[in-house]
Structure 1
Amino acid sequence: MDYLPLFFRLQGRSLLLIGGGEVALRKARLLVRAGARVEVVAHELHPELQQLLDDHQGQWLAREFLSEHLDGQALVIAATDDRTFNRRVYEEAVARQLAINVVDDPALCTFVFPAILDRSPLVIGISSSGKAPVLARLLRAKLETWIPSRYSDLGQLAGRFREAVKQRFGSINRRRKFWEDTFSGTIAERVFSGQMQEAEKLLQEQLDKADEETGVGEVYLVGAGPGDPELLTFKALRLMQQADVVLYDRLVSAEVLDLCRRDAEMIYVGKKRDHHSLPQEGINRLLVDKARAGHRVVRLKGGDPFVFGRGGEELEELKGAGIPFQVVPGITAANACSAYAGIPLTHRDYAQSVKLVTGQLKNRTSELNFEEMADPNQTLVFYMGLHTLELIVQGLLEKGKPATTRIALVSQGSTPQQRVITGTLETIVAQQQEAQLPAPALIIVGEVVELQPRLAWFNTNY
C-alpha cells in the first residue's frame, strides 16, 4: 500500500485551506461536511466558497500566506496552481509534522482525498494513491448502485443498540454473530423498505430473547481455488469474511488469505513433501476443538477440498464429533491450470476422457495403474508429481505409451508467476532439468497438449 487508509475526526477542529478558487471550493465542501472549521488564505475568493465559510463559521484571510498560519491547524490543503509556492507550503507543513495535501500533486502529499461513498455512519473511501483519481470515482459510482442509501439508517439503528448489545453479551464472538444475523435478516429488510419503527421493535425483541450461550460452532470446508482470488465463489468469500478461525494450507495464496476477516485467528496447517506443520490427525482435532468452543471455522484448502485435499477425512472426524459443517467447492488445479495454460482437457479430436492422478508416490514407489493410463484418447493430469516426474514418465513408457506422447508442465498456474513448458515423454525430463520449474506444478499428458502453442493466452512472456 502506498497509503494507509485512515479516518480523521475533524468536528470543531481548525483546518488551513490555501487557495480560493473552484478546486478549493470542492475541498471545503468535504471539510465542512466533516464538521471542520475552515480557514482560507487567498487574495480572492470564489463566491460560493465565501457563502460556505459564512454558513459554517469559517474564516477568510485575504492576504499572503505566512508560516504562522500553520499554527494550531489539524490539516493543511494547498489548492493553488503555483507548484513552487505549493512546495514551500509542503516543506513547512512537513517540518511541523502536519498532514498536508497539495491538490493534484501526489509527490507533495502526506495524505490524499479518496473518492467517498457516504452512508454515514458508514463511510467508504476509495483511493488510487493519486495515480488514477478518475478510476477511483468510477468505482465509487458502481458502489453507489450496489449499496442502498438506507444503509445509513441501518448504521444509525446499530449505533443506538450498540451499548445494549455489548451489555447483553459478554462474548465478542456472540456479539458478532448477533449483529451478522441482524444485518442479513428480516430487520435489515425492514430498514431497507423504510419501516424503521418495525425494525427497531424487531431488534429489541431479538435482543430480549437471545441466548448468551455460544453453543457449538460450525466448520466450513472451503476450496480456495488455484491462487487467483477472482476465481473464488461468492459463497467462499462470504464464509471467509464471517469466520472466527481460519485453518489454511500452503497452497492458499496470500491474495486469497487477504480476503479473510481481518481479526480472524489465522492458523497455518500446511504440508510440504516430507514436512507437515501439523499432522492430519492434529488438524482434525483442531477443527473439532475450535468448533466446540463456539467458533465458526473455515478450513481453507487450495483447489477443491475433495480433489486430493483430504476433505473427506476431515468431514468424517467432524461427523463423528457431531459438528455441523458445510462444503464449498473450489476450482481444482486441473481445471484452472489447464485453462490458464491454454490446454483443453478434452477435445473431440484428441481426448474423450480425463483421469486425475496423484503424483505423491509413497516411498518413491508407484502403485499406479500405468497400464490403464497407457490407453489412447484420454488426458492424464498428475497432481503433486513434479518431484517424481522421471518415475511417472518411466511408468508410462514401460506400459506402452508412445515416447512421442505430448506432455506439459504448468508451474504456479493461474498466478502471475505461471510458467509452462511442453515436450514429449522422451524429452520432458531433460527439459525440466534445464528449466527447473518450481512447485506447485501440474503435469498434463495427452495429445491435447498440441493445442497449447495456439491457445496460450495468460502470462506468455516468460
Structure 2
Amino acid sequence: MDFLPVFLNIKSRPCAVIGGGDVAARKVRLLLAAQGEVTVIAPELTKELQEQVAAGAITHLAKQHSQAPLDHYAVVVAATDDANANQQIAETAKQSNIPVNVVDNPDAGTFIMPSIIDRSPVIAAVSTGGASPVLARLIRARLESLIPAGYGRLGELTARYRERVKKAFRNSDDRRRFWDRILQGSVAERVFSGHMEEAEAVLEKELAEFSPNSGMGEVYLVGGGPGDPDLLTFRALRLMQQADVVVYDRLVAKPVLEMVRREAERIYVGKERDRHAMRQEEINELLAKLAKEGKRVVRLKGGDPFIFGRGGEEIDTLAEQGVPFQVIPGITAASGCATYSGIPLTHRDYAQSVTFVTGHLKDGSMNLNWRQLAQPHQTLVFYMGLMGLPVIVEKLIEHGVSPQMPIALVQQGTTHLQRVFTGTLENILELVEREKPKPPTLIIVGEVVQLQEKLSWYKGEKKGYQGATSPVQPGTAL
C-alpha cells in the first residue's frame, strides 16, 4: 500500500483550508460534514464560502497563507490554484507535524481525501492514491448502489447494544459470532425494510437466547479458483470473511488470500514437489483440532477442493471425528486456465470428451492408463505435470498419438501474469527448454489447442508466448 487508510476524528477541532475557490469549497463541505471547526484562509472567497461565513458555519481570515500561522490546527488543506504556494503550505504544516492534504498533488502532503460513501455511522472510503480520482469516483458510485441507506440505521442500532453484548459475551470470538448472526439475519432485514421496532425486538430475543457453541467450530473447504479473485463464489467470499483461521495451500493466489478476514490467523501448509510444509495426515488432524477448539476454519485450496485437491481425504477425517464441515466448490484450473487461454476443452469438430489427469501419483510415479489417454477425439488436461512433461510426451507418442498433436502450457492462468505456450508433442520440449515455464503450469493436449490463437481474448500485464505448431521458431507475444 502507498497510503495507510485511517479515519481522523476532527469533531470540534480547528481545521484550516487555504484557498477560496471552488476546490476549497468542496474540501470545506467534507470537513464540516465531519464536524470540524473550519477556518478558510484566503484573500477572496467564492459565493458559497461567503454564504457559509455569513451563516456562521466557518471562519474567514482574509490573508495570504504566509501571513497566517498554522501550528494550532489539527488538519490543514492546501487548496490554492498556485502549486508553489501549496508546496510551501505543505512544508510549513509538516514542520509542525500537522496532517496536510495538497489538492491534486498527493505526494506533497501527508494524507489524501478519498471518495466517500456516507451511511453514518457507517463510512466507506475509496482511494486510488491519487492515481485516478475519476476511477475512485466510479468505484464509489458502484458501492453506493450496493450499500443501502439502511446500513446507517443498522449501525446506529448495533451501537446502542454494543456494551450490552460485551457484557453478555466476554469472549471476543463469541461476540463476533453473535454479531455475524445479527448483521446477516432477520434483524438486518427488518432494519433495511424500515421496521425498526421489530428489528429491536428480535435483537433483544437473540441476545437473551443466543448461546455460542464454543465447544465445536466448523470447517469450510473452500475452492479458491485458479487465481483471479473475481472468480470466487459469493458463498466462498462470505465464509472467508467469517473465518477465525485460514489453512491455505501454495497454489492459492495472493489476491485470493487477501480476501480472507484480515484478523484471521493464517497457517501455511503448502506442498511442493518433494518438499511439504506439512504432511497431508497432519493437515487432516490440524483441521479437526482447530474446529474442536471452537474455531471456524477455512481450508483454502487453489482450484476446486475435490479435483486433485485432496479435499476428500480431509473431510473423511473430519467426518470420522464428528467435526461439522461444508464444501464450497471453486472453478478448477482446467476450466479457468483453458477459458482464459481461449482453448475450449470440448468442441464438436475436435473433442467430444475431456479427461483430467494428475501429473504424478501418490507414490511419485506416472503409471497412468496411457492406452486410454491416447484415444482420439478427446482433450487431456494434466495437473502438476510440468516436471513430468518428457514422460507425458514420450508415452502419448508411444501409444499412438501423432507427434503433430497440438499441446499448450498455461502458466499462472487467469492472473495478470498468465503466459501461454503452444506447440506440438514433437517440439514442445524444445520450446520448454527455451522459454523455461515455471509451476503452476497446466498442460492441455488435443486438437482444440489449435483454436487458441483465434479465440484468445485475455491479455495479462506480463505478455506470454505462443510457440508455432511446426516447426519450432521463436515465440510470438500474445
- TM > 0.5: yes
Q: Is the 8 A contact 1:14 1:39 kept in 2?
A: yes
Q: How does 1:44-83 map to 2 (within 5 A)?
A: 44-53=44-53, 55=55, 58-66=58-66, 69-83=69-83
Q: Is the 8 A contact 1:37 1:56 kept in 2?
A: no
Q: Is the 8 A contact 2:360 2:366 kept in 1?
A: no
Structure 1 residue aligned with 2:94 = 94
Structure 2 residue aligned with 1:124 = 124
> Is 1:23–2:23 an aligned residue pair?
yes
| SS of equivalent to 2:107 | helix
Structure 2 residue aligned with 1:13 = 13
| Rounded Cα–Cα distance in structure 1 between residues aligned with 2:23 and 2:404 | 68
Structure 2 residue aligned with 1:197 = 197
> Is 1:269–2:269 an aligned residue pair?
yes
Which deviations, in whole Å up to 9, do the C-alpha atoms of 1:314-348 show, x marking residues without a partner?
A: 11111111111111111111111111111111111
| Rounded Cα–Cα distance in structure 2 between residues aligned with 1:231 and 1:212 | 32
Structure 2 residue aligned with 1:311 = 311
| Rounded Cα–Cα distance in structure 2 between residues aligned with 1:166 and 1:330 | 37
Task: Report deviation, 1:197.
Answer: 2.0
| Rounded Cα–Cα distance in structure 2 between residues aligned with 1:437 and 1:15 | 56
Q: How does 1:247-266 map to 2 (within 5 A)?
A: 247-266=247-266
Q: How does 1:105-120 map to 2 (within 5 A)?
A: 105-120=105-120
Distance 1:416 1:307, change over 3 A: same
Q: Is the 8 A contact 1:187 1:202 kept in 2?
A: yes
> Is 1:351–2:368 an aligned residue pair?
no
Structure 1 residue aligned with 2:206 = 206
| SS of equivalent to 2:23 | helix
Q: CA RMSD in A?
A: 1.6
| Rounded Cα–Cα distance in structure 1 between residues aligned with 2:263 and 2:372 | 49
Structure 1 residue aligned with 2:169 = 169
Q: How does 1:145-184 map to 2 (within 5 A)?
A: 145-184=145-184
| Rounded Cα–Cα distance in structure 1 between residues aligned with 2:138 and 2:423 | 46
Q: Is the 8 A contact 1:38 1:53 kept in 2?
A: no
| Rounded Cα–Cα distance in structure 1 between residues aligned with 2:150 and 2:422 | 55
Task: Report deviation, 1:94.
Answer: 1.9
Q: Is the 8 A contact 1:381 1:443 kept in 2?
A: yes
> Is 1:386–2:386 an aligned residue pair?
yes
Structure 1 residue aligned with 2:449 = 449
Task: Report deviation, 1:200.
Answer: 1.5
Distance 1:212 1:437, change over 3 A: closer
| Rounded Cα–Cα distance in structure 2 between residues aligned with 1:23 and 1:73 | 20
Task: Report deviation, 1:301.
Answer: 0.4
Distance 1:53 1:269, change over 3 A: farther
> Is 1:328–2:331 an aligned residue pair?
no
Structure 2 residue aligned with 1:36 = 36
Question: Which amino acid in structure 2 is aligned with residue 26 of structure 1?
Answer: R
| Rounded Cα–Cα distance in structure 2 between residues aligned with 1:319 and 1:377 | 40
| Rounded Cα–Cα distance in structure 2 between residues aligned with 1:424 and 1:326 | 42
| Rounded Cα–Cα distance in structure 1 between residues aligned with 2:158 and 2:403 | 68
Distance 1:171 1:454, change over 3 A: same
Question: Which amino acid in structure 1 is aligned with residue 257 of structure 2?
Answer: L
Task: Report deviation, 1:202.
Answer: 1.7
Question: Which amino acid in structure 2 is aligned with residue 279 of structure 1?
Answer: R
Structure 1 residue aligned with 2:281 = 281
Task: Report deviation, 1:21.
Answer: 2.3
| Rounded Cα–Cα distance in structure 1 between residues aligned with 2:381 and 2:297 | 31
Q: Is the 8 A contact 1:67 1:92 kept in 2?
A: no
| SS of equivalent to 2:444 | strand
| Rounded Cα–Cα distance in structure 2 between residues aligned with 1:385 and 1:372 | 18
Which deviations, in whole Å up to 9, do the C-alpha atoms of 1:240-288 show, x marking residues without a partner?
A: 1111111100000100001100000111011001011111111111111
| Rounded Cα–Cα distance in structure 1 between residues aligned with 2:77 and 2:354 | 63
Question: Which amino acid in structure 1 is aligned with residue 386 of structure 2?
Answer: L
Which deviations, in whole Å up to 9, do the C-alpha atoms of 1:84-118 show, x marking residues without a partner?
A: 21121122122222221122223322211111111
| Rounded Cα–Cα distance in structure 2 between residues aligned with 1:113 and 1:56 | 25
Task: Report deviation, 1:2.
Answer: 2.1
Larger CA deviation: 116-125 vs 81-90: 81-90
| Rounded Cα–Cα distance in structure 2 between residues aligned with 1:214 and 1:264 | 17
Which deviations, in whole Å up to 9, do the C-alpha atoms of 1:381-433 show, x marking residues without a partner?
A: 11101001111111112212122211111111111222122222121112211
| Rounded Cα–Cα distance in structure 2 between residues aligned with 1:412 and 1:382 | 14
Structure 1 residue aligned with 2:418 = 418
| Rounded Cα–Cα distance in structure 2 between residues aligned with 1:137 and 1:43 | 31
Task: Report deviation, 1:66.
Answer: 3.1
Structure 2 residue aligned with 1:230 = 230
TM-score (norm 1): 0.96
**Structure 1 gap segments, 5+ residues each:** none
Aligned length: 462
Q: Is the 8 A contact 2:223 2:305 kept in 1?
A: yes
Question: Which amino acid in structure 2 is aligned with residue 135 of structure 1?
Answer: L
Larger CA deviation: 362-371 vs 283-292: 362-371
| Rounded Cα–Cα distance in structure 2 between residues aligned with 1:213 and 1:319 | 18
| Rounded Cα–Cα distance in structure 2 between residues aligned with 1:39 and 1:225 | 52
Q: Is the 8 A contact 1:380 1:446 kept in 2?
A: yes
Distance 1:327 1:212, change over 3 A: closer
Q: Is the 8 A contact 1:406 1:447 kept in 2?
A: yes
**Structure 2 gap segments, 5+ residues each:** 465-478
| Rounded Cα–Cα distance in structure 2 between residues aligned with 1:248 and 1:169 | 30
Task: Report deviation, 1:212.
Answer: 5.2
Q: Is the 8 A contact 1:32 1:56 kept in 2?
A: no
Which deviations, in whole Å up to 9, do the C-alpha atoms of 1:110-153 show, x marking residues without a partner?
A: 21111111111110111122222222222222222221111111
Structure 2 residue aligned with 1:409 = 409
| Rounded Cα–Cα distance in structure 2 between residues aligned with 1:337 and 1:188 | 39
